[in-house]
Chains A and B, each alone.
Chain A
Amino acid sequence: MSFSRLLTLLTVLVMLLFLASLVTGVAAAGPGESFRALVFGDGGPLTLVMREIRLPRALLAVMVGVSLGLSGAAMQGLLRNPLAEPGLIGVSASAALGAVLALQTGLAAAFTLALPMAALLGALAGVLLILLLAGQGGGALGLILAGVALSALAAAMTSLVLNLSPNPFAANEIVFWMMGSLADRSFAHVWIALPVMAVGWLALANTGRGLEALTLGEDAAAAMGTDLRRLRLMVVTGVAASVGAATAVAGAVGFVGLVVPHLLRGAVGGRPSRLLPAAALGGAALVLAADIGVRVILSGRDLKLGVLMALVGAPVFLHLIWRMRGQT
């Protein structure tokens, strides 16, 4: 399949799933009726549901999916490792620390956006630390080790806060938040995440050429005119901004950044620069599909997006490893 054909196919898939997401929900209304209410707006409750609940939810699914897919492709390209994923540099763990601090201090209860904003700040602070630790030379290994250290530190501090918490519900809330979900989000979440994500997408979209050269290793890439420090900075800040914002509004949604680039690598001929847009669209499709799944499979039981993703993602990943045996 040609590259442009693949992108067209994925775009159509994302559009279809987006429409399907808009008509999925507890409010009993047919598709035609729903879209009429969305577009023309009769001022009734269905218009409110479509415009204030389902539309932001579908938009967030696309934004989160694009962020995770794109970041996964970029991380795997930078580290030249198909097992790399966006959470590796500690973004998700630092975002969780920010969130738990917001819950703990009562800020989250004070206003709705306090939680995502605190999570975003946590992610950005974590990444500043990563850049300080691994920004100067160090190579891929230094980046991975710094990420592991940061994840461990953020997880330890999250545990400490919960451990000392006088509020018995804090642990409960943070556990549910960590499961990842797009339920009950509003346009406020879209607007807080979109600018930060857009900065991240832009940074990652510019890494294609460098990632191509990195196919041959760091030494060869440097001699081919790639500025490795700049490339590393672009990927780390791009992943931090987009995944930090995604985690802030949707909690921790795993496996997308790992599985999507993996599934699409063969279709783009292994080329890291082509994997970026393909994985972005593939991520959007997967998150949209999973978010439809959580509403259909156990409707009324608030099945968490991250839980479903891991339940489906882990066996798919095992299957991939099973098929890859003996090929490498």
Chain B
Amino acid sequence: MHAFANPARFLRLARWLMPLLLVSGLVLSMGALLYGLLVVPPDRLMGETVRILFIHVPSAWLGMAGWSTIAIASLVELVWRHPLAAIAARAAAVPGAAFTAICLATGSIWARPTWGTWWVWDGRLTSFLILLFLYFGYIALSGAAQRDMASGGGGNRITAIFGLVGAINIPIINRSVVWWNSLHQPPSITAGKSAIDGTFLWPLLIAAVGFSLIFGGVVLARMRTLLAEIQTEARLRRKALG
């Protein structure tokens, strides 16, 4: 793991990996979304609105994967003091929040014709809305911690602890439809079997892979930006002192 503790080595890797992830992710997700929009047959009950599945479900996965990234990076930061972990955690927050927001918006649009309501306060919807608010809190906290760096504050550690504590929401989101009666349907895809017909399942899985690659590319891009910002600040400070 400490092979990448050196930011220079990480930056060399990120320089070619980032465009690769972004381009392959865009190609895969555009292909899957177009196929889902134009080729896939309408659902037996939902009709055409089933097509929103190909955006909604991958976004939901990435909203949760985003916070899992934050939690794992926070753990690495707190225990091993890995210099890139704090940056990785901070870089995952904005794309994670964006996918969470997309998931909530598309779900709401789908719910209106399907359930007959834009929003209900059931376990799944409420816990996912809390995830969005956790992201907002994390982004605000990490921003404050970064501004606090000059005065040598422990803000990064507080941010990391918040990232770890917030992870408790992830299993709650995952289990919410199993533990509690909810309007949201139970999971369609569980280990080894799927209640989604093959014609819907394949474009869904490809879209999920494509979205994940885009997510990875955006995280790498943001890590490069954050590293450059830190470097600039350090240089300016040296200049001011020198």
| A interacts with B | no
Q: Interface on A for B, CB 8 Å cutoff? A: none
Q: Interface on B for A, CB 8 Å cutoff? A: none
